[in-house]
Structure 1
Amino acid sequence: MLSLKCLSKTNISTACSYVINGRLRNVRDSVKLKRGLHTRFSVKEDTGSRAERKVCEAVLQHFNTQYNEELGETWLSAREVLLNPHCWQYGVLLNRFSDHLDIKAVLKSLGYYSLLSQPDSPIVRSLQCLVHREAVRLRSQRHRPGWLKQYYLLNAASLLPVLALAVRDGESVLDLCSAPGGKALAVLQTANPGLLHCNEVDKSRYEWLIKTLESYVPRELRDTLALTNEDGRDIGGTKTEMFDKVLVDAPCSSDRSWLFSSGAQQVELRLRERANLPQLQKELLCSALAAVRPGGLVVYSTCTFSRAENQSVMEEVLSTSQGVELMELEEDLICSLSGHFKFAHLQPPLGHLVVPEQGRTWGPMYVCRLRRKPSS
């Protein structure tokens, strides 16, 4: 890791290394640092570990059978990306609670540019995510007590659910399946909610969530956060109609990671669990609809292509839930992102699915938004 400390100098020339398409590159950038600023900026060396991960043939065959039927040629191009981690792109979400101006300048000098380009939108103005046209991968910053990290690395398509939620200052928000915390962090970049309730049922992931928020959120704002380690299916009953907006980033097949499952036992377990996921997802979504106030929004998202976990979940919930309606995402939002993301043509046409392709490797990310109708 490259550490920069500056007490009196105003200009420091730093040598940075970063990875493009699996090859280590070196650049030199002039970084202006304010007096007393402690900045950490580093990049990840190319160890080849991602490329060396072995594809699980059993999972790949399972996906081929399902997705060839559901997505056709779209699956063939997406599969090419998923099987080659060296081509994966990474978004850099800047943390507005830290001093990131110098990091932003360095990234722009390396060819990064803003993902979002709607200056009239208050959400877009505050949510700063930089992306690169090539597969550049920075090193994640280490957790250090008392120091706020300056950026968070993510699949840029994972910001779509947060943009769909469109949180405003003062609103009460529930992140039902919150770990590892990237979307909760993104919510805090877009607005100052009156309450952000982050829940995670898995104990180890809950600890991960705590560490994420400690690493990015200043102490003075933590009074607006509530963290719980509960089954999300129960929250609709215990916190009925308490939230203005709810995000359900549901447990799912997670196609990127499942392709690299290790060991026959893990593969067997995951494929068996996959059949049960739609029922869990429907129960979580129904809990979210109970927790949101009349007139409030619920955004459902997954990181899988699976129709059973995406449109089919929405179809069943819409057909069995009273007082709930589909609320399409704003056309200008989809249009502004269409240059970065490839959106699939879904059948049935419920929600939006980002699918990766060469040069735009973001996704998979499915997003659908529901509205609980106001009381009559």
Structure 2
Amino acid sequence: FFLSLKLENKTKGKLPKQVCQVVLDHFEKQYTAELGDTWRSVRDVLISPLCWQYAILLNKFSHCTGLENSLRVEGYHSAFQGGLPYLPAALKCYIRRTPGRFPAQKHQAGKVKEYYLLNAASLLPVLALEVKDGEDVLDLCAAPGGKSVALLQCAFPGNFHCNEYDDLRSRWLEQTIESFIPNPLINLIMFSKLDGRQIGDLKPELYDKV
């Protein structure tokens, strides 16, 4: 009940997002040339909120009792059905079939959030990397930080380098990590604002996974 009330209050009075026709026209020209007839079905997914799969990634560094049960009451279920070749037990993500947005938690300095909202598809590259404890990992374009947070649910890298070239997005990235990862572990993460094309020359063959 309380989760429903929060969601209702969060979304009340907000205008629905509008499709920018100028951008869509540009996409039409660009991706029709690249994808041909496939672009039409891709476009339908991109502009239809009913097709967007919002997910709730639980944060293993925040011990919130009862959150999973509350999500199930709200109609959420595990995003991962069936066996996967790589699926750490600590990676817990929930989705539901009906559209809607879960209320986001505000950033509070020194306090770790309980969950991260993201598109479920964002977890696919994290699972594909199959990161193991002790491996050196580079997140090349890391902002806003969802994949970095998800990766740290899966394993404890030996060195974890989060890079974001843009100043504003880099600050966003650091705030995200601060919101989800406790201090002892944050100290093991290196942040940078490098042009990704330079990292291979600066740190050749340093990383196990990128």
- TM-score under structure 1 length normalisation: 0.52
Please say if residues 96 and 189 of structure 1, whose CA atoms lie closer than 8 Å, have aligned partners that are also in contact: yes
Percent of residue pairs identical: 47
1:104 alignment partner in structure 2: 68
The offset of 1:93, in angstroms, is: 0.7
Higher relative contact order, chain-length normalized (CA < 8 Å, sep 6+): 2
Over aligned residue pairs, what C-alpha RMSD do you find?
2.3
Alignment of 1:315-326 (within 5 A): none
The offset of 1:176, in angstroms, is: 1.2
Please say if residues 116 and 124 of structure 1, whose CA atoms lie closer than 8 Å, have aligned partners that are also in contact: no
1:184 alignment partner in structure 2: 148
**2:4 is the counterpart of 1:16:** yes
The Cα offsets for residues 136-181 of structure 1, whole Å up to 9 and x where unpaired, read as 2111100011211011111110111111111001101011111111
The offset of 1:113, in angstroms, is: 0.8
Alignment of 1:233-248 (within 5 A): 233-246=197-210
The offset of 1:223, in angstroms, is: 2.7
**One-letter amino acid of the counterpart of residue 17, structure 1:** L
Cα 1:148–1:92 shift into 2, 3 Å: same
* Aligned-partner Cα distance in 2 for 1:199–1:66: 28
* Aligned-partner Cα distance in 2 for 1:92–1:44: 16
The offset of 1:69, in angstroms, is: 4.6
The offset of 1:70, in angstroms, is: 4.1
The Cα offsets for residues 48-70 of structure 1, whole Å up to 9 and x where unpaired, read as 4233x3x3323222222343454
Cα 1:59–1:90 shift into 2, 3 Å: same
The offset of 1:118, in angstroms, is: 4.7
2:109 alignment partner in structure 1: 145
Please say if residues 90 and 154 of structure 1, whose CA atoms lie closer than 8 Å, have aligned partners that are also in contact: yes
Cα 1:199–1:134 shift into 2, 3 Å: same
**One-letter amino acid of the counterpart of residue 46, structure 2:** L
Alignment of 1:354-369 (within 5 A): none
The offset of 1:88, in angstroms, is: 3.0
Please say if residues 123 and 191 of structure 1, whose CA atoms lie closer than 8 Å, have aligned partners that are also in contact: no
**One-letter amino acid of the counterpart of residue 186, structure 1:** A
Please say if residues 86 and 127 of structure 2, whose CA atoms lie closer than 8 Å, have aligned partners that are also in contact: no
* Aligned-partner Cα distance in 2 for 1:160–1:77: 21
Which ranges in structure 1 are unaligned for 5 or more consecutive residues? 1-12, 25-42, 247-376
**2:48 is the counterpart of 1:60:** no
Rg larger for: 1
- TM-score under structure 2 length normalisation: 0.89
1:310 alignment partner in structure 2: none
1:95 alignment partner in structure 2: 59
The offset of 1:15, in angstroms, is: 6.2
Higher strand share: 1
1:45 alignment partner in structure 2: 11
Higher helix share: 2
**One-letter amino acid of the counterpart of residue 204, structure 1:** L
**2:182 is the counterpart of 1:198:** no
The offset of 1:100, in angstroms, is: 3.1
